[in-house]
Amino acid sequence: MKTLNKLATRRLLLAILTIAPLLAVTSCKDEMDYYEKPYVTLSPNFTDNTIPFKQDGGKQELTIETNRRFSITFGEGAEWVSATPMEATEGTHQIAITALPNRSEDAREAQMIIKTSTTQHVYLIMQLGSTGKGITYTSLAEIAKLGEGLDQNGKTIDQDLRIRATVTTHAETKQLPFAGYHHIQDAEGNALVLIVPKGKGEGALQFGDEVTAKLKGAKISNYKGTIQLQVSHAQMSIVPNKPIEPIETTLAEIVAGKHPNQYVRVKDVQFVKPDVPFFDSASAPSTRHKLVDKSGNEAELDVWKTATFGEEKVPSGSGSITAVVTVYKSNKTNKTFFNLRPTLRSDIKLDQPRFDVGGGNQPNPNPNPNPQGNVYGVDLSQTACTIPFADDFSKGGEDKKDFTLPGWLNKALVGTTLKFQNGSYGGVHFALASAFKSTEPENKFVLVTPRLQMKAGSSYTVDLTYSTGHTNGATLTIQQLDKDGKLVKTLEVINDQSSPNGFGNQHYKKSYTITGSADAGYIALLYEASQKPLHTTTYQVEALTVK
């Protein structure tokens, strides 16, 4: 009997040893499949991520292709719209979005969110009312009037008002009083502060988020001259990645109060006292630094105690600063002060020589030899390429090596050697920009097209296709250069926040209309990443055409 038991035990052990390697192989394969680079592709592309419906309702379709499970949720008040399926596994699926007839005179809208494990895609569903008119939004200037004469206790808004505005601050740098504190600005340029109480699973709004909010029941207050709206997440619909350009202005206009709470850029400024820390603990909760322009106008720049760049030194050069304008009214003097508050360290671009107030330049140890001319040192002797222009990115070289196409400039500007890298995935070829694993405090590099034939005064369209990954603050700036390599116009500063935990393979498409300034020109893509963790942000440029 004992012999039989021993024999059975040996056979069992032999079976386990035989099966174990197979299980290990299966386990490894499953793990490899699970960690396959995630992707989500949605089509068609709806303008402004808004899916329109007529008053009588109907059906629209979205096609989703993904290697991840996805689910769909709707925001508050979306009982009139539905989607099928509401969730599914990986693969290609047709999503049917159905809207019921709208019996009201007024248009209505709802938010739809498609989520995977690493990304989310937000759409607004908008349906016309019986009058045929779209949604009416109240300007932030009118909202601000409701806050005049109030104190910090404020009041509750009892009117059916709606706003649509864009977030102009970056929560990730902690350069604001708290995470739910944001500046927003509408299409007319009016601005105020939006406070969003943090709920379970809800994070701060991101720079470039377009916020649509119903204000009935929201709170409005006036905190020492700053008009503040307090709106819950449930009252808002949010579409990401719709940043606006800053308003070009001067220190004189800032101090005169012409841009309260607005997102602005001031040029030709410098710090009066450079080479000191941005934040001094002796001046908590914030440190103010005096700025001056060439005419002697002065204003102050404010750095909050929690700012991620607080320990860095104030730069000694001159240049431009992009920031929001803060408002503070003193109870003692009854005077209102307007200061600048940049929310990205990279928006403080003081890389030009210092100037003497009233004219002249001061010595600079590392001067730019041609600050107003050929900004990236492009080859001005190239024979210009004809338009339409569309180079094949599959010929960009070996993967994980520097991106190389004939006539293109791929150049490191700040940092040692980082440039755009050639890459490919799933048959898509791209120029990849990332400062991942960089140990340097700042990295900047640029990719510039060959010289392009243009005609002064003629219009052209620049089309850009790109995807993003591990997004947390670094930017990709699209610029137009003239025949001499001089900056003509910044077309957009992209600060994507849609894929913080991985790659989305979203294949975003952007179009820009430019006007030729001469008989030739260039298009530049500038990648900028500052201190950690911004180095992880990746942009993969899949196509750039000019027609």
Residue 289 has pLDDT above 80, yes or no: yes
Amino acid at 424: S
Torsion sign, CA atoms 411, 346, 465, 37: positive
Q: Are 185 and 173 in contact (CB under 8 A)?
A: no
Residue 26 has pLDDT above 90, yes or no: no
Average pLDDT of the residues in 502-515: 84
Residue 427 has pLDDT above 60, yes or no: yes
3-state secondary structure 187-252: CCCCEEEEECCCCCCCCCCCCCCEEEEECCCCEEEEECCEEEEECCHHHEEEECCCCCCCEEECHH
Name the band, by pLDDT with cuts 50, 70 and 90, for residue 502: low
| pLDDT value for 493 | 87
Rounded CA separation 483/462 (Å): 17
Least-confidence region, from 211-225, 360-374, 465-479: 360-374
Average pLDDT of the residues in 171-191: 94
- Please check whether the two domains, 40-127 and 140-239, share a CATH topology: no
Burial of 201 (0-12, 13-18, 19+ CB in 10 A): exposed
Name the band, by pLDDT with cuts 50, 70 and 90, for residue 154: very high
Residue ranges of domains in the chain: 40-127, 140-239, 247-352, 389-546
| pLDDT value for 117 | 83
| pLDDT value for 200 | 60
Q: Are 76 and 234 in contact (CB under 8 A)?
A: yes
| pLDDT value for 451 | 94
Name the band, by pLDDT with cuts 50, 70 and 90, for residue 14: low
Compute the mean pLDDT over every residue in the chain, rounded to the nearest whole number.
86
Least-confidence region, from 9-23, 399-413, 477-491: 9-23
Name the band, by pLDDT with cuts 50, 70 and 90, for residue 52: very high
**By C-alpha distance, which of 143, 324, 137 is closest to 220?**
143
pLDDT in tens, 106-127: 899 888 999 988 788 888 899 9
| pLDDT value for 532 | 64
Name the band, by pLDDT with cuts 50, 70 and 90, for residue 464: very high
Residue 45 has pLDDT above 70, yes or no: yes
Question: Which residue has better confidence, 497 or 367?
Answer: 497
Which CATH number is 140-239's, of 3.30.110.40, 3.50.50.60, 2.40.50.140, 3.30.450.20? 2.40.50.140
Residue 366 has pLDDT above 60, yes or no: no
| pLDDT value for 373 | 78
| pLDDT value for 474 | 84
Name the band, by pLDDT with cuts 50, 70 and 90, for residue 176: very high
Rounded CA separation 126/284 (Å): 46
Q: Are 530 and 436 in contact (CB under 8 A)?
A: no
Rounded CA separation 373/484 (Å): 7
Domain 247-352 fold: OB fold (Dihydrolipoamide Acetyltransferase, E2P) (2.40.50)
Name the band, by pLDDT with cuts 50, 70 and 90, for residue 440: confident
Residue 2 has pLDDT above 50, yes or no: no
Name the band, by pLDDT with cuts 50, 70 and 90, for residue 29: very low
Average pLDDT of the residues in 434-443: 82
Q: Which residues contact 247 (CB under 8 A, 6 or more apart)?
A: 189, 259, 262, 263, 264, 265
Residue 363 has pLDDT above 60, yes or no: no
Residue 500 has pLDDT above 50, yes or no: yes
Rounded CA separation 449/184 (Å): 34
CA geometry: angle 185, 479, 382, nearest 5 deg: 170
Least-confidence region, from 199-213, 362-376, 390-404, 532-546: 362-376
CA geometry: angle 514, 518, 520, nearest 5 deg: 85
Q: Tell me, yes or no, if the pTM score tops 0.75.
A: no
| pLDDT value for 48 | 77
Least-confidence region, from 6-10, 411-415, 523-527: 6-10
pLDDT in tens, 62-84: 999 999 999 999 987 899 999 99
Question: Which residue has better confidence, 425 or 192?
Answer: 192
Domain 40-127 fold: Immunoglobulin-like (2.60.40)
| pLDDT value for 362 | 47
Q: Which CATH class is domain 389-546?
A: mainly beta
Average pLDDT of the residues in 280-285: 83
Rounded CA separation 532/437 (Å): 10
| pLDDT value for 476 | 92
| pLDDT value for 141 | 95
Rounded CA separation 125/110 (Å): 5
